[in-house]
């Protein structure tokens, strides 16, 4: 009887998982343009004087449509070019420049 010291192929795949045994769902490359986001993706958008939550509701070759949440509970839609660059703050896509955490708008607290 002989013992094999080679690792099976499943052990290599298991070693590549996270410490809790789950595989990482984060993509290896970061999103660089607005067109690369899927419909339903959430992002932070720079408006005139504050930062707001937005959701991608439509993607076409000419435009990307975003649904933006207003502070009083309403929503409105804006259209941007699919080539618009976005930046990532960790896992959060950000459209605009500046410090979004300090200027994020407070929404209606009644809901």
Q: Is 1 domain-assigned?
A: no
Q: Is 10 domain-assigned?
A: no
Say what the pTM is.
0.65
- Residue in 58, 96, 63 with CA at minimum distance from that of residue 81: 63
Q: Is 33 domain-assigned?
A: yes
Q: What is the pLDDT of residues 33-83, one digit of tens each?
A: 998 899 999 999 888 888 889 999 999 999 999 999 888 888 999 999 999
Residues 6 or more apart in contact with residue 31 via CB below 8 angstroms: 37, 86, 88, 93
Whole-number Å distance between alpha carbons of 27 and 83:
20
Radius of gyration of the chain (CA): 21
Task: Tell me: pLDDT of 87 over 80.
Answer: yes
Task: Tell me: pLDDT of 14 over 70.
Answer: no
Mean pLDDT within 2-28: 53
Q: Is 96 domain-assigned?
A: yes
Element (H, E) at 103: helix 100-103
Q: Is 34 domain-assigned?
A: yes
Q: Is 19 domain-assigned?
A: no
Q: Is 43 domain-assigned?
A: yes
Least confidently predicted of 30-34, 39-43, 83-87, 96-100 = 30-34
Domains of the chain: total: 1
* Domain residue limits at 71: 27-103
């Amino acid at each position: 009887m002989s013992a094999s010291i080679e690792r099976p192929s499943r052990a290599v795949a298991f070693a590549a998982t996270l410490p809790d045994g789950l595989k990482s769902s984060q993509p290896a490359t970061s999103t660089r343009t607005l067109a690369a986001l899927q419909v339903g993706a959430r992002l932070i958008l720079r408006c005139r004087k504050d930062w707001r939550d937005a959701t991608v509701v439509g993607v076409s070759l000419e435009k990307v449509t975003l649904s933006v949440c207003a502070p009083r509970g309403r929503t409105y839609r804006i259209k941007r070019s699919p080539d618009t660059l976005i930046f990532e703050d960790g896992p959060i896509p950000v459209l605009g420049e500046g410090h979004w955490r300090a200027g994020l708008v407070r929404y209606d607290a009644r809901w």
